[in-house]
Amino acid sequence: MPQSAETTPPPATPPGAAPDRPAAVPPATHRTVEVPGGRIHLVEQGTGPLVLLVHGFPESWYSWRHQLPALAAAGYRAVALDVRGYGRSSKPREVAAYRMLAHVADNAAVVRALGEETAVIAGHDWGSPIAAHSALLRPDVFTAVALLSVPYTPRGATRPTEAFAHIGGAEEFYINYFQEPGRAEAEIEPDVRTWLAGFYAGLSGDAEPTSGPGLFSIPPGGKMSDRFPAGPPRPPWLTEADLDFYAAEFERTGLTGGLNRYRNVDRDWEDLAAWTGAPLTRPALFIGGEHDATTHWLADAIKAFPRTLPGLSAAHLLDGCGHWVQQERPAEVNRLLVDWLRSLPEAVVRVAA
């Protein structure tokens, strides 16, 4: 596929991006590649077998800033992308353009655009189900999958928004709160930086424990930010420069592209009917946080791993860690990822001929 360089590329190493890299590791480089759905911006570091890193909400390629140099130093070609709708990647207007099938197609096209035939894929938050479905639907391209924070959950019999309404009970589950175009944007976009800081802090392992419903449930007539923690404006693992980078990205792009992923959960359910209950058989790794609410309300999905992820090597819950695992615990996550990659058979991590 044709590739294009940024006319005004972001810095290769933004402030606060990563600790000093080993001398043998080349610097990260930015570029965009053409895919059938538009353009995907990515950041690449190292040479060797390709490892594709997919971020979640509300993040960007930058959420993998600590993993890029570590994977490169370990002998891998690490590539972190801006998912469609984020950063410098294309932002289609239609909500349906953010369906899971489109993200899977983007990922497969990125691998081809990079001159490779196969890749290992890793995802965090929404990036985890995107990575999982990439390996499920395109096992010819994605030979192994690492899932961070969100466990693999096969398609079930109940329409997702109906299931989420049941979870919310008298309140509104956050995914349903995100469904109406413009509603969440009206909460977030007037002060993006403050909202992001509260959201990151509220789902961090450093947040004060609460006995209430937490951030994932919105009271009638309320906003998600009503339950953001009072106290420090950001968690300690996130520098002011890190927060500045995220805020600048979303102040420039808005939040609609990221929120449109949530607005396709029912459409995904319809698209993926043929894969109801399907196990993901590729070699897999799971890393979650002990204090991540996601690992609690999806605890049954983790218990089902022997059936749903038969190729799972290990499932790790990091003590005291919250939702943002690769940013909260970069050294530990880097070690787990590299050890897992090195344990994979050579045929799984082969470089394309």
Catalytic positions, please?
125, 323
Query: Which has the closest alpha carbon to 5: 88, 78, 65?
Result: 88
How far apart are alpha carbons 307 and 301 in whole angstroms? 10
Residue 168: in which H helix or E strand, if any?
helix 160-168
Residue 326 in contact with residue 64, Cβ under 8 Å?
yes
CA angle 123, 125, 130 (to 5 degrees): 50
How far apart are alpha carbons 352 and 292 in whole angstroms? 37
Residue 154 in contact with residue 305, Cβ under 8 Å?
no
Tokens of 36: 């059938």
Give, rounded to a whole angstrom, the gap between the first and last alpha carbons of the chain: 17
How far apart are alpha carbons 174 and 107 in whole angstroms? 27
* Residues 6 or more apart in contact with residue 65 via CB below 8 angstroms: 14, 17, 18, 80
Tokens of 189: 């976009």
Q: Which residues pair with 146 in a beta bridge?
A: 122, 285
Query: Which has the closest alpha carbon to 302: 291, 288, 313, 282?
Result: 288
Residue 209 in contact with residue 333, Cβ under 8 Å?
no
Tokens of 1: 């596929």
Residue 71 in contact with residue 46, Cβ under 8 Å?
yes
Buried b (16+ CB within 10 A) or exposed e, 2-35: eeeeeeeebeebbeebbeebeeebeebebbbbbb
